[in-house]
Copies of this chain bind each other. A is one copy, B any other.
Amino acid sequence: MPVQLSAPKAESLLPVKGVQLGYAEAHVRKPNRKDVLVITLAKDSAVAGVFTQNRFCAAPVTVCKSHLSQAHGIRALLVNTGCANAGTGEDGLLRAQQSCEALSQQLNIQANQVLPFSTGVILEPLPVDKVIEGLPKAIENLQEDNWLNAAEAIMTTDIVAKGTSRQLQLDGKTVTITGISKGSGMIHPNMATMLGYIATDAAVSQSALENIIQYAVNRSFNCITVDGDTSTNDSLILMATHLAENAMITEQSPHFIALRDALTDVAIELAQAIVRDGEGATKFMTVKVEGGKDEAECRKVAYAIAHSPLIKTAFFASDPNLGRILAAIGYAGIDDLDVNNIELYLGDVLVAEKGGRAASYLEEQGAAIMKASDILVRVVLNRGNADVTIWTCDFSYDYVKINADYRS
């Protein structure tokens, strides 16, 4: 079950002026589930995206990047679950383009004003006919207050829908931000992928939006890991409809930081929700590495800890097995690391220093902290001023079960 996470209430996901959402049950892979989502955007909206670094990136990712670079004004997003359209070569690109073409005709826009997204089984052809058959239904129920339905329509192995909203005042105008995400591992069995969609009605320049999405993703979706696998389809999209009547925000605007931080806050909550709903997760772990020479080395240490199956199974067992954490710090790849200078904390308890167990540490303290569902692991390297925080979950029987049984 998800760790301290429940689905948002429909009324808690606030409409964003100029953003409409509609869904359909198109039977892409299974009947009786929402599996096609259409999002439409007001004219002149700004849109920015970041995508997977995986070299085997899926066909829709390639098409998204192309359409975004053509800068013709994105007017619609089309998402399907059930099939990732990844590992599908030239034919996959054609099918992704066909889906854009079909939606553009029905909305009376151009095909390159549509961004396509797919999540689901890899290596199988996208049943594009089924997606297209679902479009009229999705267009028919396009509404501004459809965010919870939209969050449900993009779920695959997720147990709960993920979404959140914020409002802030800029120039005396109320600006709304609403976002949804899906993904319960960085990559799933076949039902791959992390997807995130965040919209605001703020007026914000294209350049400022691109600045913000990089800032936000580096502090949110790039700071989570469930199993260390990077999906072929990961995508995050940030949309701004410019209908809140605030003065256009650029990087130089007084409100730039406020908007950036609010959007980042939404991105962090959506990213953490993915980890809390991680496959088989029973614990949510925050790994903070401080005092590094630079962020890169902090990140190495944090991910060595977060990816270690030995550490993740120890957290599942609520076992304060500190040797495993020290070993991971040791093999993280910092060649000149002096292990005698490191401090390791579990919650606020110092557990190791000077190359070994702290004299003050009692096993009962560690055991008490490990019983919680949210646990902080803090490493102080004492060699600089950089720090990094990432989030992950434990590794349980259910992780193996979910991933071993998925296709059978």
Across the interface, do A310 and B397 meet the contact criterion of CB distance under 8 Å?
Answer: no
The answer to whether A26 has its CB under 8 Å from any CB of chain B is: no
**Which residues of the partner chain B approach A330 to less than 8 Å between Cβ atoms?**
54-57, 230, 232
**Which residues of the partner chain B approach A122 to less than 8 Å between Cβ atoms?**
322-324, 326-327
A404–B283 CA distance with the chains assembled, in angstroms = 13
| A331 contact from B229, B324, B339, Cβ within 8 A | B229
Across the interface, do B89 and A356 meet the contact criterion of CB distance under 8 Å?
Answer: yes
**Which residues of the partner chain B approach A400 to less than 8 Å between Cβ atoms?**
313, 316, 395-397, 399-400
Across the interface, do B87 and A352 meet the contact criterion of CB distance under 8 Å?
Answer: yes
A90–B357 CA distance with the chains assembled, in angstroms = 12
Across the interface, do B399 and A309 meet the contact criterion of CB distance under 8 Å?
Answer: yes
| A308 contact from B229, B397, B408, Cβ within 8 A | B229
| A354 contact from B89, B356, B395, Cβ within 8 A | B89
Mark the stretch among A31-39, A147-155, A187-195 that contacts chain B: A187-195
Across the interface, do B407 and A87 meet the contact criterion of CB distance under 8 Å?
Answer: no
Given A309-B309, A339-B56, A399-B309, is A319 in contact with B228 using a C-beta cutoff of 8 Å? no
Contact count band on A: 35 or more
Closest residue of chain B to A227, judged by CB?
B309
Contact with B along A380-408 (1 / 0, CB 8 A): 00000000000000011101110111111
**Which residues of the partner chain B approach A313 to less than 8 Å between Cβ atoms?**
399-400, 403-404
Across the interface, do A407 and B319 meet the contact criterion of CB distance under 8 Å?
Answer: yes
Smallest CB separation, A404 vs chain B (Å):
4
A residues near B (Cβ < 8 Å) are 53-57, 84, 86-92, 121-124, 185, 187-190, 192, 227-232, 307-310, 313-314, 316-317, 319, 321-324, 326-331, 334-335, 337, 339-340, 352, 354-357, 395-397, 399-401, 403-408
Can you show 15 pairs from A to B with CB atoms below 8 A apart? Answer: A53-B331, A54-B331, A55-B337, A56-B330, A123-B352, A189-B324, A190-B321, A229-B309, A232-B327, A309-B399, A313-B404, A316-B404, A317-B406, A319-B404, A396-B404
